[in-house]
Amino acid sequence: MKTIYKLTATLVAMGEILCFCGAVPIGAAQSSTNNLPFPLIERFENFGAKDGLPTHKVHCVLRASDGKLWVGTYGGALFRDNGKFHLISTNDGLSHRMVMCMVEDKRTGDMWLGTMRGLNRYSAGRITTYTQTDSGLPNNVVYGLDIMDDTLWVATAAGLGALNLKTGSWSIYDQNNTVMHEPWVYSVTGAKDRVFVGVWGGGILEYEPASGIFKEHRDPDRDFHFDLAPDDGPVSDITSWVAWEDGVLWQATYFGMSRYDGSRWRTWQETKSPLPSNFVNFIWPHGRVAWVGTDCGLSTTDGNIWVNYRTDEHGDGIMEIARPGQPMETRKMTTALPNNFVLGIWVDDREAWLATSDGLAHAFLSPTQSATKVAVDQ
Amino acid sequence: MKPRLITLFLVVAALGAVAMWLRQDYWVDHMSRMSGQKDLSHVTCFNCHMVSTAKLRWAQPRPHHDAPAGLAVSPDGKIIYIALDDRDQIAAADAVSQKVLRRVKVAGRPFGLALDAAGQKLFVTCRDADRLAILDTQTLKETASIGVGMAPVAVAYCRTSAGERLIVANSMADNISVLSVSPLREIGRPSAGREPFDVTVNPDGTRAFVVNRMAWLASVKTVPAAEVTEIDPVTARTIGRDPLASAHLSESIGIVPSRSWVLNPLVKVRNLVPITQVANGWVMSSGFAVTDTRTCKVIQLPLDEANNYYADPSGMAVAPDGKRAFIASGGSDVVSVVDLDKVSAWLAAASVSTKEEAINDMSLSPEYVIARIPTQRNPRQLLISPDGGTLYVAERLQDSILLVDTKTLTTKGRIMLGDGGLNDPIRRGERVFTTAAYTFQHQFSCRSCHPDGHVDGLSYDFDTSGIGDNLLDNRSLLGVAGTEPFKWNGKNPSLEVQCGPRFAKVLMRTDPIPPKELRDLTTFIKSQPPQRVARRHDGKLTPAQERGKAIFFATKTSAGVEIPHGKRCSSCHRPPLYTVRLSFDVGTGGPFDTPHLLGVANTAPYLHDGRALSLEEIWTLYSTNDTHGVTSYMNKEQLNDLVEFLKTL
């Protein structure tokens, strides 16, 4: 098996050499024949301490609308400008070094950073902090953020906070004033006229600000570990992340993942699908394709076809393609994820950035098919 | 006898009988229990009872004056537009004849003005109505209006690659409204610094600069800094924030395109230096900042001279050729003329360290200040005609516009808007309030620490010995009538004492303000209503505010446990003034005077030394363990609700 891998790697390397010579590259040839509804990752470029990251653990990543890459790590936030990382730390006024989530207010360019101790607004170099003692922030542990119109939604360890960006007023939604059973809110995502809230142990809350109505989505079988009746609702109530795009809500849990299109649910667990692990940290939807961060690597899926990326025990990059009714296709990559524990993802048509437990990865996508085009076509 | 008198007599008789029956012990016990004071020598029935705001000076009708605020000039230089905020009017005056041609009503306290490129639309910020109005300059009729942030005070117009834009400084919302003109809509509302007060835009419409009057909220022992906020007028995104170290109270900003400079006047404040050092000129001085827009480096230069200060620098105008800048000193009735070529030459020759220390060099200003033009009372906004030939100076407390020939620097005349209002004691008092004539070397006026009667957001060191030993939070003068005694220790019985001998001894370092002027001054202060607060337009409280109100007036905790009288919010902060005017120890090293809460939302920081940067911090960090009312039963939502209610007072 090792010999086959080495042979494949040699062929890929030769293809890349040929590419520079103007010949048809092997990677491109593979991509063009994949016939997949979303692009493949061709290679990874990894960043760590040598590149200026303050710690190996990276929690979140996103590319802002001005093109700057923002990275949240255990040792502060960074932005990448002209190829160099610039650190924003507690010395600069950040409320805590551990940056767990980020969201950009695209209208103003302000970056909101959630940490283990408070919320921060980075605006043109100035940091304003919000903590549970100096503001209406429900709790200092900020797991998730999203902005919808004039409201910043903040998922905290003690409820959901809503900051009106025009008036500065805070509202708190928790077990005291909603149907929320647990106060640990891990994630929040705006969805046009409503907000979906991922509650640890409480499933998903759907909130319509206009009517003030909360609706609860709970795992019907109430079993944490097993999805006794697939596709009947959220796969589990232990929600670790929610994300919404293009009319579809995705739920990450530590016992599988789910998709909800407004009327139907679909669920996946590792034993019944190509999902590499039930331990799902994060989902980034791009069009109708989900980019899934797990403890066993990265997955991309439209719900039917799966492509999983992981680093094997030798440090080699492995790509697995699972098509319905076909055996799993395994390919060896020339580069690998820095770590299989994927905590954060940002994707557009051209590239992906991955936050892992051991560094940051830049994933270059095959140019043959864009995710958006696929979504439109479908 | 009339029935009412009989009833009154019977009531008084009954009360007297009850009082005699209850005897002195009861009343001592009642007053002691209800006031929370062991020493009752300062306690009367009127601390709690018979208090009404209706009879206070600020609740009474007052005369209105033709005080000029914002100015604008037509592209041909013939018509001057003047905002008369106290009258709710806009005036149009002929620049040649120096006569007012027309006045029109514009509701909501019109304050800031700007014209479009063709001079056909006049944009007016309405400070009390939170809106921007558009007037047709031909008819002076309002043709459109749009809501903006709270208390808009300035507007700038520009043309950009994406169309016409308006940049509005929302002073009480700490943000900026970026509007498109066609269609009239808000594109974005980026955050500013604290109290954005003026706006300018570079000629190609790619950058707007907003100057902020107050320093950022920060720990009381840090050097304060305001900022110049840079905005992209096309996208409404924030693109820069240039700090003004140890400076604040910038009220205007001007651009010098030929030099890539932005200029703004400022007050160099050293609030951590003991106030006793006023005599050394160490506490407050006036200057201006030069920001290089290419490098974002800021150099602060003094406007004052060693023994003669030019207090309260307010308006600024830059000549179209970029050769001169004019700065109005509202406290000194002077417009200083700054030769920008000389500033440039000095900056080119000075070392980095010399430039950093320049603001402290009281011998420097003669290098570039080439003239001081005397004005009448309280010059504020400045404007230069399109040809650069005439400088217009809004003499706010004279109700006039001074015209100055910018070549000869001589007076060309005056547009008279009103009579100066000298028959009105409030107006006379405002003149005292805004003049630096009574302070040592004319260093500052009352307004220097209380802009518009409010706060500057700083704490000052009032100790006579060590630095930073006795920081005291600046308190608003708005709505202060009827809340005596004054000072944080509650020792001054009246405004007359506070503003008279005490002010002279501690602050002015000169003779006290003369008695007649002192009377006018206190009349003015008493006439200042509380700060406007943000409420829903229908005046009703939101559900969160209603819940907060219930907490404020609660007599029991959520668990039904009785809250002792002296530990209820409303016991010490009793309506209608939200103070019983007594001192209490709230766990901060007191006892300290109980401040009134009218307009409290906009008076951060809080507590006697300004240690609490937000209302929440009062209870979460500093007055914990039920030392500032019984509050430990509250969960986070209840505290948020309480704060939301406090913001409505």
Q: According to the model, what pLDDT value does residue B385 have?
A: 97
Residues B648 and B578 in one domain: yes
Q: Does B621 touch chain A (CB under 8 A)?
A: yes
Q: According to the model, what pLDDT value does residue B283 have?
A: 86
In a domain, B626, yes or no: yes
Give the pLDDT mean for B628-643.
95
Tokens of B278: 């006023």
Q: According to the model, what pLDDT value does residue A23 have?
A: 34
In a domain, B254, yes or no: no
Whole-number Å distance between alpha carbons of B630 and B641 = 15
Substitution target in A133, A147, A176, A178 with the highest count of B β-carbons within 10 Å is A133
Q: Of A303, A302, A323, A276, which is closest to residue A371 (Cα–Cα)?
A: A302
Q: According to the model, what pLDDT value does residue B536 have?
A: 67
Decide if B82 contacts B91 (C-beta within 8 A): yes
Angle at CA of residue A266, ends A264 and A270, nearest 5°: 175
Check B238 against A138: CB less than 8 A apart: no
In a domain, B35, yes or no: no
Q: Does A104 touch chain B (CB under 8 A)?
A: no
Q: Which amino acid is at B483?
A: T
Q: Of B66, B58, B93, which is closest to residue B413 (Cα–Cα)?
A: B93
In a domain, B400, yes or no: no
CATH number of residue B559's parent domain: 1.10.760.10
Res. A119 pLDDT band, cuts 50 70 90: very high
Tokens of A276: 């590499």
Residues B562 and B487 in one domain: no
Tokens of B216: 């950022």
Residues B451 and B479 in one domain: yes
Residues B442 and B507 in one domain: yes
- Residue A31 above 80 pLDDT? no
Q: According to the model, what pLDDT value does residue B537 have?
A: 65
Which residue of B lies nearest to A66 if distances are taken between CA atoms? Answer: B237
Choosing from B468, B503, B526, the residue where a domain stops is B526
Which residue of A lies nearest to B645 if distances are taken between CA atoms? Answer: A169
Task: Check residue B540 and report its DSSP letter.
Answer: P
| Predicted confidence (pLDDT) per residue in A136-153, tens digit | 999 999 999 999 999 999
Task: Sort A74 into a burial class: Cβ within 10 Å, 0-12 / 13-18 / 19+.
Answer: middle
Residues B519 and B550 in one domain: no
Whole-number Å distance between alpha carbons of B147 and B619 = 35
Q: Is the peptide bond before B68 cis (omega within 30 degrees of 0)?
A: no
Q: According to the model, what pLDDT value does residue A21 have?
A: 38
Q: According to the model, what pLDDT value does residue A10 have?
A: 42
Angle at CA of residue A317, ends A315 and A322, nearest 5°: 140
| Predicted confidence (pLDDT) per residue in A321-364, tens digit | 999 999 999 999 999 999 999 999 999 999 999 999 999 999 99
Q: Does A108 touch chain B (CB under 8 A)?
A: yes
Q: According to the model, what pLDDT value does residue B598 have?
A: 94
Whole-number Å distance between alpha carbons of A171 and B637 = 8
Choosing from B526, B556, B573, the residue where a domain stops is B526
Q: Of B266, B261, B373, which is closest to residue B323 (Cα–Cα)?
A: B261
- Residue B164 above 50 pLDDT? yes
Residues B539 and B626 in one domain: yes
Whole-number Å distance between alpha carbons of B360 and B269 = 11
Domain that holds residue A251: 2-377
- Residue A32 above 60 pLDDT? no
| Predicted confidence (pLDDT) per residue in B367-395, tens digit | 999 999 999 999 999 999 999 999 999 99
Give the pLDDT mean for B602-620.
95
In a domain, B558, yes or no: yes
| Predicted confidence (pLDDT) per residue in A46-85, tens digit | 999 999 999 999 999 999 999 999 999 999 999 999 899 9
- Residue A28 above 90 pLDDT? no
Can you say whether the dihedral through the CA atoms of B160, B162, B168, B170 is positive or negative?
negative
Highest mean pLDDT among B9-23, B120-134, B507-521: B120-134
Q: Does B227 touch chain A (CB under 8 A)?
A: yes
Question: Looking at the 3D structure of chain A, how many domains does it have?
Answer: 1
Strand order in the sheet with B410-416: B379-384, B390-395, B400-405, B410-416
* Long-range CB contacts (within 8 A, 24+) of B229-232: B229/A124, B229/B176, B229/B190, B229/B192, B229/B193, B229/B196, B230/A124, B231/B167, B231/B176, B231/B178, B231/B190, B231/B207, B232/B206, B232/B207, B232/B208
CATH number of residue A146's parent domain: 2.130.10.10
In a domain, B90, yes or no: no
Check B237 against A108: CB less than 8 A apart: yes
Give the pLDDT mean for B28-56.
85
Please state whether beta strands B99-105 and B110-115 pair in parallel, antiparallel, or not at all (unpaired).
unpaired
Residues B560 and B635 in one domain: yes
Question: Quick one: what percent of chain B has pLDDT higher than 90?
Answer: 80
Residues B516 and B541 in one domain: no
The secondary structure of B223-261 as a DSSP string is: PPEEEEEEE-TTT--EEEEEEEETEE-----EEEGGGTE
Return the minimum-mean-pLDDT range out of A306-320, B39-53, B54-68, B291-305: B39-53
Whole-number Å distance between alpha carbons of A46 and B414 = 71
Q: How far apart are the first and last CA of chain B?
A: 43
- Residue A165 above 90 pLDDT? yes
Residues B516 and B590 in one domain: no
B310-to-B92, B184, B333 alpha-carbon distances in Å:
31, 41, 8
The secondary structure of A179-245 as a DSSP string is: S-S-S-EEEEEEETTEEEEEEBTTEEEEEETTTTEEEEE--TT--SS--SSTTSS-S-SBEEEEEEE
Q: Of B372, B259, B382, which is closest to residue B322 (Cα–Cα)?
A: B259
Q: According to the model, what pLDDT value does residue A369 have?
A: 54
Tokens of B622: 């500093």
- Residue A17 above 50 pLDDT? no
Question: Looking at the 3D structure of chain B, how many domains does it have?
Answer: 2
Decide if B105 contacts B417 (C-beta within 8 A): no
- Residue A12 above 60 pLDDT? no
Angle at CA of residue B617, ends B615 and B619, nearest 5°: 90
Choosing from B507, B526, B545, the residue where a domain stops is B526
Mean pLDDT of chain B: 93
Question: Quick one: what percent of chain B has pLDDT higher than 70?
Answer: 98
Cβ-nearest to A134 among B175, B238, B614? B614
Decide if A378 contacts A55 (C-beta within 8 A): no
Contacts of B227 in chain A (CB under 8 A): 126
Q: Does B230 touch chain A (CB under 8 A)?
A: yes
Helices (H), chain A: 2-20, 26-34, 371-377
| Predicted confidence (pLDDT) per residue in B169-198, tens digit | 999 999 999 999 999 999 999 999 999 999
Q: According to the model, what pLDDT value does residue B535 have?
A: 73
Residues 6+ apart with CB under 8 A from B284: B267, B268, B269, B270, B278, B311, B443, B444, B448
Q: At what angle do helices A2-20 and A26-34 cross, to 10 degrees?
A: 100
Decide if A15 contacts A26 (C-beta within 8 A): yes
Structural Rg of chain A based on CA atoms: 21
Whole-number Å distance between alpha carbons of A348 and A352 = 6
In a domain, B453, yes or no: yes
Decide if B170 contacts B177 (C-beta within 8 A): yes
In a domain, B43, yes or no: no
Residues B519 and B456 in one domain: yes
Residues in chain B: 649
Res. B41 pLDDT band, cuts 50 70 90: confident
Whole-number Å distance between alpha carbons of B573 and B585 = 14
Give the count of Cβ contacts less than 8 A between chain A and B. 82
Residues B465 and B560 in one domain: no
A290-to-A164, A235, A371, B571 alpha-carbon distances in Å:
30, 16, 10, 58
Please state whether beta strands B254-256 and B459-461 pair in parallel, antiparallel, or not at all (unpaired).
unpaired
ipTM computed for the complex: 0.89
CA atoms within 13 A on the CB side of A98: 8
Give the pLDDT mean for B436-442.
92
Res. A306 pLDDT band, cuts 50 70 90: very high
Res. A6 pLDDT band, cuts 50 70 90: very low
Contacts of A110 in chain B (CB under 8 A): 190-191, 238
- Residue A9 above 50 pLDDT? no
Q: According to the model, what pLDDT value does residue B38 have?
A: 81
| Predicted confidence (pLDDT) per residue in A220-261, tens digit | 988 888 888 899 999 999 999 999 999 999 999 999 999 999
SS (H, E, C) B143-161: EEEEECCCCEEEEEEEEEC
Substitution target in B148, B533, B542, B616 with the highest count of A β-carbons within 10 Å is B616
Substitution target in B170, B231, B602, B640 with the highest count of A β-carbons within 10 Å is B640
Res. A26 pLDDT band, cuts 50 70 90: very low
Q: Of B282, B294, B292, B436, which is closest to residue B359 (Cα–Cα)?
A: B282
Substitution target in B185, B234, B637 with the highest count of A β-carbons within 10 Å is B637
Return the minimum-mean-pLDDT range out of A115-119, A201-205, B84-88: A201-205
Which residue of B lies nearest to A163 if distances are taken between CA atoms? Answer: B640
Whole-number Å distance between alpha carbons of B311 and B327 = 11
Whole-number Å distance between alpha carbons of A179 and B382 = 58
Reduced to 3 states (helix: H, G, I; strand: E, B; else coil), residue B520 is helix
Tokens 């400088």 sit on residue? B391
Domain that holds residue B583: 534-649
Residues B540 and B648 in one domain: yes
Check A126 against B635: CB less than 8 A apart: no
